[in-house]
């Protein structure tokens, strides 16, 4: 009997989700952050807005919110940033928001390619229940990056979790609790929302 080979899914042509980013295990200086992302592979562009993670407030003196818009079809990325400085006062901590200069640089690929599992020859790593959903796991290694495991809702191309690194040592985890394939408005990629 010939067993059917499981083929890894490609991400949808357009998708978006809020996300929460954290570490496993959480070490003393690790942060939990969140944001939102949009991917439009048809137009070869993406946008991610959120508090940067990892980012050392102790070393830099501030937290960093960033909106990164990658327009790979035009070979560029634009980063808009706001620094949040803690301002201790009587018994409470307040934050001062300081808008930083935008950065622009060359970029010819979106931050997460549609065929990432095929590109890095991912292998099936079983199923488990995550965020109340049954999932299928795919594992692969990017050159120079270490292992990654991506979890998709079973039988779909809906990404629910990305794990980069070894969770037994220290791994970056990003959950996508409200993954959607609704059409993305063009103005999302034109600047700050």
Q: What is the pLDDT confidence band of residue 2, given thresholds at 50, 70 and 90? A: very low
**Backbone φ and ψ of 188, nearest 5°:** -55, -35
For the stretch 114-152, pLDDT in tens is 999 999 999 999 999 999 999 999 999 998 888 999 999
**Closest by Cα among 137, 169, 172, 175 to 153:** 137
**Closest by Cα among 141, 133, 144, 98 to 116:** 141
- The predicted structure's pLDDT at residue 1: 42
Q: How far is C-alpha 87 from the chain's CA centre?
A: 29
Question: Looking at residues 7-35, what average pLDDT do you find?
Answer: 95
First and final C-alpha spacing in the chain: 55
Instruction: Check: pTM over 0.85? Answer yes or no.
Output: yes
Calculate Rg over the CA atoms of the chain.
Answer: 18
């Amino acid at each position: 009997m010939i067993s059917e080979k499981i083929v890894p899914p490609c991400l949808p042509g357009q998708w978006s989700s809020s996300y929460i980013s954290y570490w496993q295990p959480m070490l003393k200086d690790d942060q939990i952050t969140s944001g939102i992302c949009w991917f439009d592979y048809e137009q070869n562009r993406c946008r991610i807005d959120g508090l940067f993670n990892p980012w050392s407030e102790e070393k830099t003196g501030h937290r960093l919110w960033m909106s990164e818009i990658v327009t790979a079809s035009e070979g560029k990325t634009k980063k808009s940033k706001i620094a949040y400085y803690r301002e201790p006062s009587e018994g409470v901590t307040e934050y001062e928001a300081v808008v930083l200069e935008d950065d622009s640089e060359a970029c010819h690929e979106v931050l997460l390619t549609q065929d990432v599992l095929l590109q890095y020859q991912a292998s099936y790593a079983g199923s488990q229940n995550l965020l109340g959903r049954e999932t299928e796991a795919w594992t692969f290694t990017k050159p120079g990056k270490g292992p990654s495991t991506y979890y998709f809702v079973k039988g779909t191309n809906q990404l629910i979790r990305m794990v980069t690194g070894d969770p037994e040592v220290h791994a970056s985890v990003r959950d996508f609790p409200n993954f959607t394939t609704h059409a993305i408005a063009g103005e999302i990629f034109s600047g700050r929302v």
